[in-house]
Amino acid sequence: MPGETLIGNKFTTSFGGKGANQCVAAAKTGGNVHIICRVGDDQWGEKYKEHLRTVGVDVTYAQVTKGTTTGIAQISVADNGENQIVIVPGANNHLSKSDLGNAKELIKKADVLIGQLETPYETTLEAFKVNDGIKLLNAAPAREHIEEILPFCTILCVNEPEASLLVHFNVDVSNIKKALNILLESGCDTAIITLGDKGAAYSLKNSGECIHVFSNKVTAVDTTGAGDAFVGALASFLVNFKNQPLHQLIGAACEYASLTVTMEGTQTSYPEKYIPFTRQYDYVTL
């Protein structure tokens, strides 16, 4: 509440940020991953690049911005695992079209290009126009007026609050099919709405079907970064398991994300030895 002070029980500093989280999740699930980003010239910039190297992410196109801080987020985690986040973008705001020019061939040939909205929208839009592969947009943090990029999206992935902002009503499982149809009408080929512990629902353009994929039940300790884990894992699975149907790829990504909430932290909670498709993931057509 405004003006209220609470006593916490633990403080930690760790690496995060949506794009980086998604890269780390993709790398830990078998992806060959490059990150195109900017960090500051503060104490965190080079430390972050070295950290990404250690987890298998190529940082050739991670540029240092002089006189700017690296992006920082303050995350408060409640006893039930839910979180509240305040972000200071810093160098993230300086990612520009010139950065894309330096990596144009990489962007064009990438099997999957992941974008999100913690970096400038115009830069992400330009990258999506260049790429010839699967373009996966995680439209987060939630914002309106992204209509121009949606026709370039192969896959649009949002959670319930983000979907609610785009379709202009409160989205939940009861109206998920209607919400997905509206998202598809905006131009993307596939729309996915993640549902937390309820899994995820998706629909394909012109299919008329909505498929709800269920997640396994776990006890949540910290939900921070679970959505990013889903996106990164899904991107990796789309490349490495092309023979699997989409509902099984999404099921595996849900399972991977559910494992992360059983541990504290963000990237530190992403399992490295996860083996997908050891079972069939449950789903229902709505």
- Distance between CA 119 and CA 93 in Å, rounded? 6
Q: Are 235 and 112 in contact, with CB atoms under 8 Å apart?
A: yes
Query: Active-site positions?
Result: 228
Question: How far is CA 286 from each of CA 177, 202, 207, rounded to the nearest angstrom?
Answer: 7, 10, 12
Q: Distance between CA 175 and CA 71 in Å, rounded? A: 36
Quick one: how many helices (H) and strands (E) in the chain? Answer: 9, 11
The angle formed by the CA atoms of residues 18, 21 and 27, to the nearest 5 degrees, is 140
Phi, psi of 269 (to 5 degrees): -90, 0
- Cα separation, 78 vs 222, in Å, equals 8
- Cα–Cα distance for residue pair 179/127, rounded to 1 Å: 27
- The Cα 162–Cα 236 span in angstroms is 23
CB 162 within 8 A of CB 183: no
| HEC sequence for 79-110 | CCCCEEEEEECHHHHHCCHHHHHHCHHHHHHC
How deeply is 10 buried, as exposed, middle or buried, from its count of CB atoms within 10 A (0-12, 13-18, 19+)?
Answer: exposed
Which residues 6+ apart lie within 8 Å of 89 measured at CB? 71, 118, 119
